[in-house]
Chains A and B, each alone.
Chain A
């Protein structure tokens, strides 16, 4: 336990009840008077030129109020990524709101708004499109061959870029190696499967200013990108913050076609336009990029890394979007920086294909790398007889070391070794060998994996927004309103930020409420992504609360006849430090600040002075000073049916260093949710496409399999290694992403331990296991 009154406690989410009864705050539940319903016409072809389009019959349909074709959109090329400047040289601007060329099956080609959704859908059927089909290519290796279809004009061999990374002397490193390990590790395309569909309502007023309500992870990113693609000044777009959205996981980190299309339809019709994606549309809007990683590692006799070389082929999909950043994060945090090695080299290739868009997804390139690195470490330990925990400890960075991604910082708080040690102990790692035996057809196996290095935000990432702001306003009933442009994407940001404000203000967490706002009223903020909110938004919230508290104490000076520096706030009372009897309620201080100069009371008149007047409010707008690393280690027990190849995850022990835990129940929820997605990534989730047409055949939950409650292990134990991050709010760091990065290799390693089958491509289906056992 700690000395804090609110930090570290399990706080029920303030929005939980409302969500359970339908969640009227979800953008999908928003309705405006006079609102029209928009739908998109999508191409059945994966690669085609639109030779002609006749929409006259659709426009003539009664109830149709506006229609947009490729001829009607501003020809402003853009990148959909929310969290990078629209004009950054680091993004590839290869998209148009509607393009005359279709590059993946399902790409929108027209949009209609009508008085009802069914009229709009009917109108789509009346639009005649002449497609000139072009040859399509879905495999990134084929896309790079001579003579492959050119997907974007002038991009030779469809290669968008070949980023590299290097450290030391790779040749010398391999010469010094006594053993060399090599392997190719492949990961599949998966979808985030947020619950609330992508939806937006755009409302253009008579002056052409667009107000937009959307289920996205970045309020200011939405405003900036929308204004950019529409060719409007940013102040002509107002993005309104929803109280929460129904999940994101990265799937709502970039502009989807629905947002600019709803805006254009609204500008035409001069009425609000709502577009809600179907589940099929959600599935083809964003995904984790498939990757093929070749990894080669040199090891000395005494088990030291001497050299590590990797090559990554990333299917960037039809549009580059997040891919250049995904592959950068992948190379550093997924592959190269986690363990110490003097000589390292990486070469990446980003390739266009006619596949559906990739995007951001919790872990952002790291799962594709972690699967390779952590699987191969297991292979090394197996072959050379090292204990996987000891081996990782030997190569792990230590607390106080320079930060591997930025030498200007140190790993000020860092408990990776403790994650490994405590996790192993709780799991019973040492006694695993005995238990691993099993007679019948079902075999038990034990495995582990880790993620030594991760982020608490984007500080240090090139051309990526990283700043937050907050407004804390005290009320005359002693409560506080907290406003920030941070979006609660379902992971409990609201609860955590309220806790941080409450702790700093010295009031109860129930007395803090997250209030809304819009890009007109809120300080700029980065996206809810990159495991950043608790840390980076938390710092801003703490600073705003501290500013409000400073003002509160100043006002209390006359009331308590003491100087502000001698005052403190505890349990809702402002009091003289060390003299708890000498106190006034926060509410009374706020009342005094907001009261008229002369107050008439039953006891006669009372007076305040000019210096005490005004709302007690604190604001902040700042960038976090650091980017501290969380760390994690996971231990998994599986049972493999050697006749059917089915795998059950029986038990997980998951240790994380996240600095100070702010909301214990929330943190455990993150870990369990990440494990669920990680099990899906490891064992079943896989987006599949018709080989000829590129049409997605897994765009619903019958065909796209993710773990249900039944597939979850009966035992999930979370260990939090509470290091105290000096730069964090009350010592906190990030958590969200490692939870999902680590499970796949941990499960792969456990399966190997159970049945001796090493599967180097995800998902590890029952079929691959039976093939590995030689049974099919």
Chain B
């Protein structure tokens, strides 16, 4: 039975109220953003103890700020809101995020938040994979204190994040690459309403000589407990001109970086094979986008 212990549903308008509620309910408080994953957690029996739902959508965390150093996205910004931001369509370096946000069904995009998407620590979600390839940083607040860390450190395991008791994600920050840069994201799914069997995001920075000065590749789906960075593949691209041969060998190398598993949706062997294909295709797409980018 869902939320049988539920005593309170609150929508705090300021942080003092948040802290008071978190103080009162401690581990039995549940932070609610878009709410689109509540039934998913409930179905896995993870909400039996919850006594209070604290809806954080009234705290002014719904914003998108393009700054010279990068992009700041408030935690409760919905996918749909972010998709509509002009900067997303205009910036090839954010291509992977735009691709990933388009994956969930429209109804979900209208409610799901960027903060909720990463906090859920579900390696099968799409935006987190894109955000990993964009080198995102997470800002969290607890009791007025704020700290920041790389997104990768948020994921402790499937459905398990590394937030400390009472910490709430307030913002994601995407550093703007310096050179010519573009990114792309691809997802392999069973039907249009599916979580990823495998997904992949690739982000490239190309220098004046046409070499990859920076390459970041992230893979999700059933390729590990958390979203994986394909560092072996990235190394093969570093400082090289990304011709076909380099792309193929980089894609082959993701085998070193992921640990695909077998479940009823796909075998490990299949996941490995398509992880390579998606990597190659995402790199190719990012490269093509970068070629259209003014330096």
A-to-B contact residues, CB < 8 Å: 118, 121-122, 643-646, 684, 686, 688, 697-698, 700-703, 705-711, 766-767, 770, 775-776
Indicate whether A775 sits within 8 Å of B273 (C-beta atoms), given known contacts A698-B264, A703-B264.
yes
Are B193 and A766 in contact, CB atoms less than 8 angstroms apart?
no
Q: Among B43, B190, B273, B274, which residue has its beta carbon within 8 angstroms of that of A705? A: B190
Does B277 interact with chain A (Cβ within 8 Å)? yes
Which residues 267-287 of B sit at the A interface, judged by CB distance below 8 A? 267, 269-270, 272-274, 277-278
A251 and B194 CA atoms in complex are apart in Å by: 24
Are B269 and A776 in contact, CB atoms less than 8 angstroms apart?
yes
User: Which of chain B's residues have a CB closer than 8 A to the CB of A118?
Assistant: 1, 4
Chain B, interface size category, equals 20 to 34
A121-B1, A702-B195, A708-B192 known; 7 new pairs, CB 8 Å cut-off, are A644-B278, A697-B264, A705-B194, A710-B191, A766-B270, A767-B267, A776-B269
Min distance, Cβ A577 to any Cβ of chain B, angstroms: 58
Q: Among B43, B191, B274, which residue has its beta carbon within 8 angstroms of that of A706? A: B191
User: Which of chain B's residues have a CB closer than 8 A to the CB of A684?
Assistant: 190-191
A776 and B4 CA atoms in complex are apart in Å by: 47
A122 and B270 CA atoms in complex are apart in Å by: 42
Are B277 and A644 in contact, CB atoms less than 8 angstroms apart?
yes
**Chain B residue nearest to A684 in the complex (CB):** B190
Are A767 and B191 in contact, CB atoms less than 8 angstroms apart?
no
A472 and B277 CA atoms in complex are apart in Å by: 64
Are B270 and A770 in contact, CB atoms less than 8 angstroms apart?
yes
Does B266 interact with chain A (Cβ within 8 Å)? yes
User: Which of chain A's residues have a CB closer than 8 A to the CB of B190?
Assistant: 684, 705
B-to-A contact residues, CB < 8 Å: 1, 4, 43, 188, 190-195, 264-267, 269-270, 272-274, 277-278
Indicate whether A708 sits within 8 Å of B191 (C-beta atoms), given known contacts A698-B264, A767-B266, A767-B270.
yes
A708 and B193 CA atoms in complex are apart in Å by: 8
Q: Among B4, B188, B194, B264, which residue has its beta carbon within 8 angstroms of that of A646? A: B188
User: Which of chain B's residues have a CB closer than 8 A to the CB of A646?
Assistant: 188
User: Which of chain A's residues have a CB closer than 8 A to the CB of B1?
Assistant: 118, 121-122
User: Which of chain A's residues have a CB closer than 8 A to the CB of B192?
Assistant: 708-711
Min distance, Cβ A304 to any Cβ of chain B, angstroms: 42
A703 and B265 CA atoms in complex are apart in Å by: 8
A289 and B192 CA atoms in complex are apart in Å by: 27
User: Which of chain B's residues have a CB closer than 8 A to the CB of A767?
Assistant: 266-267, 270
User: Which of chain A's residues have a CB closer than 8 A to the CB of B272?
Assistant: 776
A767 and B272 CA atoms in complex are apart in Å by: 11
**Chain A residue nearest to B266 in the complex (CB):** A767
**Chain B residue nearest to A689 in the complex (CB):** B264
A770 and B193 CA atoms in complex are apart in Å by: 23
**Chain A residue nearest to B272 in the complex (CB):** A776
User: Which of chain B's residues have a CB closer than 8 A to the CB of A770?
Assistant: 270, 273
User: Which of chain B's residues have a CB closer than 8 A to the CB of A700?
Assistant: 43
A644 and B273 CA atoms in complex are apart in Å by: 8
User: Which of chain A's residues have a CB closer than 8 A to the CB of B270?
Assistant: 645, 766-767, 770, 776
User: Which of chain B's residues have a CB closer than 8 A to the CB of A706?
Assistant: 191
A702 and B39 CA atoms in complex are apart in Å by: 12
Min distance, Cβ A566 to any Cβ of chain B, angstroms: 62
**Chain B residue nearest to A700 in the complex (CB):** B43
6 A-B pairs whose Cβ atoms sit less than 8 Å apart in the complex: A118-B1, A118-B4, A684-B191, A702-B195, A705-B190, A708-B191
